[in-house]
Structure 1
Amino acid sequence: MARDFTDDDRDKDVVTAEGNRIGTIRDVNEGRATVDRDSDQDLTDKVKDLLGWDNDESNELRSEHVDTYDDEVQLRRP
């Protein structure tokens, strides 16, 4: 269910397809979200590769990586 991020998505938790919380949407700009990643959450290489994330604590999330946008934003499976 791809769609651009909106201001309503700000402060939502971001979780993996398995439901593990990886961070919170801090900001939304031009349909993309910036995620503050939980510092204690180790992401698998598969999830990092899917998202194109390196080791920064703040990362961009694009709608193509999202499965659902409900009370939380759930990533699609890698």
Structure 2
Amino acid sequence: MSQQELYLYRIQVEGEEKTFHLVVVASSDEKAFDTAEKELERYMLVSPKVKEWLLLEKKRIRSGAGYVIDPTV
């Protein structure tokens, strides 16, 4: 059985009133954006109107890997 690679995605969501940053684990870009959308809907009482979705970073997950999040980006 082959093991599926997983990636850590950092996604920025530009809303009309606020910008959100999400970090999700997924096996593909499509699944990452689907997961991010579901997490954003769970986080908000009312789904925000989204102007733009941006993939800021994608890293393969492996033992011993680290991830630095720069709040200015």
Q: What is the TM-score with the length of structure 2 in the denominator? A: 0.31
RCO higher in structure (CA 8 A, sep ≥6): 2
- Max radius of gyration: which structure? 2
Q: What is the TM-score with the length of structure 1 in the denominator? A: 0.30
